[in-house]
Structure 1
Amino acid sequence: MELTAHLRPAEGLAERVLKVNHAGENGAIQIYAGQLLVSRITARSMRSELSEFQSHERKHRSIFQAELKRRGVRRCRSYHLCGAGGFVLGFVTALFGASAIAATTAAVESVVLRHLERQIERLTAVDAEAVAAITSIVLEEQQHHDLSAAHAQSSRFWVRVLTPVVAMSTETVIWLGMRL
């Protein structure tokens, strides 16, 4: 997926990336909201970790929001779509329990980390402030991935079933966000 394709003329790559990342963080917050709602019944043991992850995502969203505000750039048109889709994804996958929750988070974070790495590579020589904003969240996103992947190992079934669906959904939302 080419990051520079179909940019609106008034915005550069950094602005589009920041907008999409901001919308994605909103989606992540809502994934955890859906998971937290259902985990009261299906995965009580994960609630503390999910709450912590959600607080990280709120902080990440604030970082991108501040950078957008500093640049005078409005949020992405996909912001609410990411939120609604995230909530549905979190809610539905949490119905299947802790292993499905973990597999979902690992799949989302795998895609996100790959995109963050590419963004940093593409923007390093172009926009130091955008790179700083993106870099500031990478360690926590990696932590979410690693902890969730470790939890998901207990159920290869959910990893096999959810990973391709969740990964493709995440890629699609990013692709749409870069074009809206």
Structure 2
Amino acid sequence: MDRNELHRMIRVDQAGEFGATRIYAGQLAVMGDRGPQSAEIRHMAQQEEVHRARFDEVLAKRGVRPTALHPFWSAAGYALGAGTALLGPEAAMACTAAVEEEIDRHYSQQLDRLAETGAEPELADMIAEFREEEREHRDAALAHGAENAPAYPLLAGAIRLGCRLAIKVSERI
């Protein structure tokens, strides 16, 4: 694995974790502390803050430039979170389920690549740990009614597509 590939990997992961913190901030701004979904979102948001902070450390330690799109991801993540929460708690959970499904896929691809090259065992361990927590988030969102959101297949599909595009763009910019 060359330096550029490794930097793209770290850059996009840090951007993704940052985006997740913004999604949850938007959801909590709308939902407040009402209902079991809010408590679950608050818990997931705390874990995402830890993920982001750890990727911030990796970024700094390795001299990886962050994505230039941070201001955009900040606004877009917050808007996605607030917008889905405005549709109701099930839509907020649908957002989480969709995002985490894509992050699971993305982290799994990265772990396959790291295993293939035998590179960066510490990074691989961190990504594997975070992937398990992201899977827990997806499962919790489904347990809290994500699939009951209005137009769930359409909503989830659109969010998943947006995530895939965000990943591709953040790797490069």
Shared fold (TM-score greater than 0.5)? yes
Deviation at 1:11, TM superposition (A): 4.2
Structure 1: gaps (5+ residues): 5-9
Deviation at 1:153, TM superposition (A): 5.2
Asked if 2 retains the 8 angstrom alpha-carbon contact of 1:20 and 1:177, the reply is: yes
Structure-2 residue corresponding to 1:30: 22
The one-letter code matched in structure 1 to 2:30 is V
Q: 1:11 to 1:82 in 2, by over 3 A?
A: farther
Q: 1:154 to 1:145 in 2, by over 3 A?
A: closer
Deviation at 1:154, TM superposition (A): 5.5
How many residues end up aligned between the 2 structures?
A: 171
TM-score (norm 1): 0.87
Structure 2: gaps (5+ residues): none
Q: Larger helix proportion, structure 1 or 2?
A: 2
Structure-2 residue corresponding to 1:136: 129
Alignment of 1:4-153 (within 5 A): 11-40=3-32, 44-124=35-115, 125-152=118-145
Identity of aligned residues (%): 32
Structure-2 residue corresponding to 1:164: 157
Deviation at 1:134, TM superposition (A): 1.1
The one-letter code matched in structure 1 to 2:50 is K
Deviation at 1:159, TM superposition (A): 1.9
CA-atom RMSD in angstroms:
1.9
| 1:45 match: secondary structure | helix
